[in-house]
């Protein structure tokens, strides 16, 4: 009798590990649909704010950049999209993202052209801000969320649930809500770069959802042991936005570690390499006919001429420039080399751990640690780049809820000066409040980590949150000293940088400790 019961339990566990069985029997599909609809409504609500560059000639702003790319791609041959000419003046919002972004602009441009040709006509459409044109642009943003980001999150939720059958449905629903309703992603993709929805109201777009969605799909494929699919999806992410390279060390080391554990490592590596090279070749094909054309595109992707930093970003170079004047001490070429060495050195321990002992959970930590290294030490980091560490942090939200919460809080805070300039304070407050309401929403099985952490660290955390609140108020209501006009930005930057460093040290340590006390689930998942 005992052996029969054991066999029955094993059968149930095997069914639980099937994502489609989990979907049908747990009723997750309807739950995901409800969360997705709410997330879309929040995006629409956030869009009711002013946008960067509206009615501000001669270059208007980031909205005009996206519209101009649609103008260029729909009116010029593909080989001229990155080439400076009289028809394509690269000094006026020239394309500076990889070819997949250009193809996306072409598809969206065709959509605009079919309804409103003057919105993408060559030369004469510059600064176009008609109501219908902006409304059509808005639909390109929402369609990107619906067609790429939402399905990718759904795929990840299914893969994650199948790999952790003991997780309750409410936990997975909470995880999906944390990913889809992350305030940083919404305020950047649907608040910072916007356009008019009605005659008085404004909306935004940036299309980070496409590259991040492709990356989430690749992560889900890794968890589902579909390495070839993961390679193809991540290569597409790299071919859409070069910032996806923040995750490249984690993907490389994890997949290499998997291959080295198998009988024929060379064959396994070769298969993955062929998929990567093949996918790159398909996407980059129009620019592979000559070395000059290929280098022309690469030159647009690396803004080395801008210097190691521009605005007040909470990374190492910008924060330490308060005391060390990097731009005066070193030339641009030397800073590029120093930045490269610092970035590689800090993400190397995480890579070594995954090559030695690859695991799904370790891979998620490696994604976070790799993106932290790039954000903190790489060349020419933008404020919005905090979205990249936030992505793996949100995927790890059930494992590290407070790391996710802390990074979200200070990641959003690090962008506060930028969002203030774009008059998005109300959206900022609303999204942060919604995030905390959802984060502390009751679940059937609340995490014991949250309670224990609050019990022992409440004083320190409360003090830091209070300081951030005071800095919010000070920045909005006080004027800085005339001698130090950027004093408040520098203080906000320094506070956020200190928290990012602390989190990076913690998550790197946590990744290396994974193999010392593996859970039974990780033992089952460990590759042979």
Helix (H) or strand (E) holding 353: helix 332-356
DSSP string, 87-99: SS-TTTT---S-H
pLDDT of residue 102: 95
CA angle 236, 298, 106 (to 5 degrees): 55
Whether the bond into 58 is cis, omega within 30 of 0: yes
pLDDT of residue 58: 54
**Stretch 375-387: mean pLDDT:** 90
Residue 217 scores a pLDDT above 60: yes
pLDDT, tens digit (0-9, with 9 covering 90-100), for 78-95: 999 999 998 998 888 889
Residue 519 scores a pLDDT above 80: no
Cβ-contact 351, 345 below 8 angstroms: no
Tokens for 255? 């997949």
pLDDT of residue 113: 93
Tokens for 380? 């020419």
Q: Please, which pLDDT band fits residue 21 given cuts at 50, 70 and 90?
A: low
Cβ-contact 426, 472 below 8 angstroms: no
Length of the chain in residues, anyone?
Answer: 528
Rounded to the nearest 10 degrees, how much is the dihedral formed by the CA atoms of 269, 215, 371, 192?
Answer: 160
- Which of these, 207, 231, 233, lies nearest to 104 by C-alpha position? 207
Tokens for 416? 């506060």
Pairwise pLDDT comparison (300 vs 449), residue with the higher score: 300
Residue 443 scores a pLDDT above 80: no
pLDDT, tens digit (0-9, with 9 covering 90-100), for 455-513: 556 778 888 889 999 999 999 999 999 888 889 999 999 999 999 999 999 999 999 99
* Phi/psi at 241 (5° precision): -140, 130
Mean pLDDT of the chain: 84
Helix (H) or strand (E) holding 521: helix 520-525
pLDDT, tens digit (0-9, with 9 covering 90-100), for 316-351: 999 999 999 998 999 989 999 999 999 999 999 999
pLDDT, tens digit (0-9, with 9 covering 90-100), for 383-432: 889 999 999 999 999 999 999 999 999 999 999 988 887 778 888 999 99
pLDDT of residue 422: 73
């Amino acid at each position: 009798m005992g052996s029969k019961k054991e066999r029955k339990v094993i059968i149930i566990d095997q069914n639980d590990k099937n994502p489609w069985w989990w979907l049908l029997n747990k009723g997750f599909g309807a739950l995901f649909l409800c969360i997705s609809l709410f997330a879309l409504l929040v995006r629409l609500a956030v869009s009711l704010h002013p946008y960067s560059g509206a009615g501000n000639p001669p270059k208007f702003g980031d909205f005009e950049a996206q519209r101009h790319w649609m103008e260029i791609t729909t009116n010029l041959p593909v080989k001229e999209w990155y080439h400076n000419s009289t028809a394509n003046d690269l000094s006026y919002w020239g394309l500076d993202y990889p070819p997949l972004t250009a193809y996306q602009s072409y598809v969206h441009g065709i959509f605009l052209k079919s309804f409103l040709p003057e919105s993408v006509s060559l030369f004469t459409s510059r600064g176009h801000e008609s109501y219908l044109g902006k409304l059509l642009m808005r639909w390109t943003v929402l369609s990107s969320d619906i067609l790429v980001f939402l399905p990718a999150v759904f795929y990840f939720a299914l893969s994650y649930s199948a790999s952790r059958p003991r997780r309750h449905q409410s936990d997975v629903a909470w995880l999906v809500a944390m990913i889809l309703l992350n305030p940083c992603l919404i305020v950047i993709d649907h608040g910072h770069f916007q356009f008019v929805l009605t005659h008085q109201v404004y909306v935004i777009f940036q299309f980070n959802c496409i590259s991040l969605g492709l990356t989430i799909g690749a992560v889900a494929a890794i968890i589902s042991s579909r390495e070839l699919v993961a390679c193809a999806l991540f290569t597409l992410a790299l071919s859409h936005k070069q910032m996806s390279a923040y995750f490249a060390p984690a993907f490389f080391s994890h997949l290499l570690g998997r291959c080295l554990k198998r009988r024929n490592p060379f064959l396994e590596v070769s298969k993955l390499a062929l998929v990567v090279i093949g996918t790159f070749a398909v996407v980059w094909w129009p620019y592979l006919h000559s070395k000059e054309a290929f280098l022309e595109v690469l030159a647009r992707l690396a803004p080395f001429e801008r210097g190691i930093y521009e605005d007040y970003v909470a990374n190492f170079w910008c924060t330490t420039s308060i005391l060390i004047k990097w731009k005066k001490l070193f030339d641009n070429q030397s800073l590029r080399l120093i930045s490269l060495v610092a970035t590689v050195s800090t993400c190397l321990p995480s890579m070594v751990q995954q090559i030695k002992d690859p695991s799904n959970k370790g891979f998620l930590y490696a994604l976070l640690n790799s993106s932290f290294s790039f954000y903190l030490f790489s060349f020419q980091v933008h404020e919005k780049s905090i979205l990249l560490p936030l992505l793996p942090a949100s995927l790890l939200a059930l494992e590290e809820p407070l790391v996710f919460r802390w990074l979200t809080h200070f990641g959003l805070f690090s962008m506060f000066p930028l969002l203030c300039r774009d008059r998005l304070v109300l959206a900022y407050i609303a999204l942060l409040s919604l995030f905390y309401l959802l984060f502390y929403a009751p679940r059937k099985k609340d995490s014991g980590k949250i309670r224990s952490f609050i019990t022992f660290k409440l004083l320190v955390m409360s003090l830091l949150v209070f300081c951030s609140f005071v800095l919010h108020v000070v920045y909005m209501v006080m004027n800085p000293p005339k001698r130090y006009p950027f004093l408040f930005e520098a203080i906000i930057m320094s506070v956020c940088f200190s928290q990012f460093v602390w989190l990076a040290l913690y998550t790197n340590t946590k990744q290396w400790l994974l193999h010392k006390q593996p859970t039974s689930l990780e033992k089952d998942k460990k590759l042979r």
